[in-house]
Structure 1
């Protein structure tokens, strides 16, 4: 596998992991006991830490990319293993 392919796969997995990690550890103003600004949405985060999301997404994406590359090289799970549509019976 080429390095450019690995970087592209890592980038795709990283974006997916970042979106998955966004809601973890975030509290609203009501949950944190902080007074809301007039006109503020009830669901607005009170303690959003973007660097924590970046760190968690990077760690998870690194592990998942390493597993993807290992599977690509070793062939643990192939396309035939996850085919949900079986071949039609022969006549």
Structure 2
């Protein structure tokens, strides 16, 4: 597989993983029992911990992309699915 294709696959896997990781540990104002400031959304997270989630997403995406590329290049799997 070419490097550009690998980067494109990683980019798609990263965004899918990021969307899956975003709600982990998120607590809204309503759930935390904190007073909602006028003009703010009551469902907005108090502390989104974005840096931690970006790092977790990056690590998971490297693993998922590696597994995906391994599965696509594995001849044993090709033989199994093409019976």
Which band: TM-score by shorter chain?
0.7 to 0.9
When the two chains are superposed, the root-mean-square deviation of aligned CA atoms in Å is 1.8
Q: Deviations over 1:5-48 (max 9, x none)?
A: 11110000001000111100111123334322013222111011
Q: Which runs of 5+ in 1 are unaligned?
A: 82-91
**TM-score, normalised relative to structure 2:** 0.82
Q: After the TM superposition, list the runs of 4 or more consecutive aligned residues in structure 1 that deviate by more than 2 angstroms.
A: 30-35, 39-42, 75-78
Judged with a 3 Å threshold, the aligned counterparts in structure 2 of structure 1 residues 37 and 77 are, in CA distance, closer, same or farther, namely farther
Q: Name the count of aligned residue pairs.
A: 80
What is the TM-score normalised by the length of structure 1?
0.75
The structure whose residues are more often helix, as a share, is 2
For 1:76 and 1:57, the matched residues in 2 are separated by 29
